Every structure is written in C-alpha cells, then in structure tokens.
Amino acid sequence: MELVQLTANTYACLQPDLGLGYSNSGFVDLGGGLVIDTFWDLPRTAELLSKYETVTSDRPRRLVNTHHNGDHCWGNQLFAEIGTEIIGHELCAEYFMLEASPALFLSLCDTDDDELGSMAGFVHGLRRFDFHGIELTPPTTLLKGDTELDLDGTFVQLMYVGPAHTPGDLVAFLPDESVLYTGDILFNQCTPIGWEGTFENWIGALARLEALEPGVVVPGHGPLTDVGGLRGLREYLQYVRDEARAHFNAGRSTIDAAKRIELGPYAGWTEPERLAFQVDRAYREFSGTSWDTPIDTMRVFSEVAQLRDHFAASP
C-alpha cells in the first residue's frame, strides 16, 4: 500500500487493484484527524494506521465508513481501541451485521478447492487476506442524510447517495481542497460490483458527484482519478443497463445476456466478469424486484465464473 499526499491537508492510502477487497482509504489531517474507511483485515489496517501516523501526531479523532462492506470497515476495531469516533449512515450500521462474517470467510478459506464449485474464484481472492481476530465494530455515530463536519474551519460534506452500491452509501467531499472520497460509488478502471441499490440511484449519485467538479477523486477501488473517472463509470452503468434491457425484452437468460454484451472500451477494466452482477441487478429491476431483496449470491458467483471462462476463451 502507498500513502499519497493529495493536497495540503489530504491524503490517500492506495492498494494496487489486485482484485477482490483491494480497497482504498483516505485521511484528512485537520480537526484531530479524519479517516475515511479502513481495510478488510487487521494486518492491513494496522499498516494503514501506521502510515497515517507518519503525517500526524494525533490519534485520529474520527473515522467515516462509506458503507458496510467488510473491505471498508472490518479494521474498525483498531480505531475503536484508540478512542476514534466511528461515523456511518444508519443503513451502514444496520447492514453491518448482515454481511458475511469473518468466521464464515475463515471456514471458506479452509475448504478444499474441489468442494468450492463456483465459489472457487471468490475464495481464492479471500485467501489473500487474514480474517483472524476481527470483531465486527459498526459505526456508532449514525447519520440519516447529508451532514457537514467542521475540521478547524475546513468543511467536509458527508453526502448520502444510497441505496446505490449498498444501502448506506456515503461520500466525503472537501470543497476547499477539491478532494472527493467516494467509497465504492466509484470503481475506477475496474469493473464494479453492486449489491443492494438501483441503477437509477447509482447513476444519479455519479452525476451529482460530477457536478461538484472535484480536482482529485479517491475511488473505493482502483487508482486516483478526477471527474473523468466518475463519468466513465456512469457511462458504463448506463450502457450495461440499456444492453441488458434489450436482452431482457428478448427473453434471454442473464448469463446469455452477459455473454452477448460487447464490452468495447470496458474490456480493459480489471475483472470484466463482474458484469454478471450488473446484468443480474438490471434483470431484478426490470422484473419489479425491490432494491433490498437479497441477491442470489451463489447463482451470481456461478455466472461470474462462467463469464470468466467465456472471456478467457474469446480473445
């Protein structure tokens, strides 16, 4: 991981996008210190904390979780132990304990490959992380909507933009520094996964963030970018939804639709097979399913695996 200074008072800790769970974090060295997101396991989060300690003498006063997925908040306990206030949307806290548990991931990591079936690719990704010792520590300062934090006279806008990627999606924007931390509202140069939420809200969220015209954008996954990265993902989501609509209307299955969608400029994004998540979401929406209906994760992972093989076989 690499600590990068963005502006006079803002930083990002970036992990190279090696696939599942390689997320980014942010730090604002004002008002006692504000951290945006932790990492998926304790060793990585401890390293993150030590990096932030190189630029500030304070223990971070506040931590914001952009959403409840473990790769952004399973390191929370290391901050709770030093008295950091943990802030999140109330739906982030609600879904926090509904997410798959560290114990489940540890048992999956110990399962023989030949018993994993379509989950094999997912579990191979899990094995790069260390899920020992994690005590789920949800945010305790809960937001219902947009909020502003005053950090020594520099304002941070915490904007609620969910349910888009998940129910409790927050982003953090510092107008004075022109820096935006998006969490997983933005996957940059990597194919997005969407859980609970809708295309309309996600596309609307990206349009709202583009209008802020941030100079630096720290995505949830992938390298630093600017407003162009926001536009790129918005156009991808619009394209996939439109393509999926045509296949849905033609009565095709989700996997058939996903195989037929031409990726064009998006073929170079990492993990293109995650397209299966977006096609599944589109079909659920076209069928009138509500945004919070649980996803059939096993089936979607099976389609991700099929698509991976399909792309590998068709250069």
Q: Which is nearer to Zn ion, 41 or 184 (CB)?
A: 184
Q: Look up residue 164 and give its two tokens.
A: 């888009």
DSSP at 167:
T
- The 10 Å Cβ neighbour count of residue 46 is 14
Q: Which is nearer to Zn ion, 22 or 160 (CB)?
A: 22
For Zn ion, the binding residues (CB under 5 A) are 23, 69, 71, 184, 220
Q: Which is nearer to Zn ion, 151 or 180 (CB)?
A: 180
- The rounded distance, in Å, linking the Cα atoms of 240 and 193 is 13
Q: Which is nearer to Zn ion, 195 or 248 (CB)?
A: 195
Strand partners, 149: 156
Nearest CA-CA partner of 241 in 274, 286, 271, 196: 286
The overall longest dimension of the chain from CA atoms, in Å, is 61
DSSP at 60:
P
Distance of closest approach, residue 212 Cβ to Zn ion, in angstroms = 21
Distance of closest approach, residue 211 Cβ to Zn ion, in angstroms = 24
Distance of closest approach, residue 301 Cβ to Zn ion, in angstroms = 16
Q: How many H-runs (helices) and E-runs (strands) does the chain carry?
A: 10, 12
Q: Which is nearer to Zn ion, 29 or 184 (CB)?
A: 184
Distance of closest approach, residue 37 Cβ to Zn ion, in angstroms = 9
Distance of closest approach, residue 193 Cβ to Zn ion, in angstroms = 8
Count Cβ atoms within 10 A of the Cβ of residue 113 and give its class: 0-12 exposed, 13-18 middle, 19 or more buried. exposed
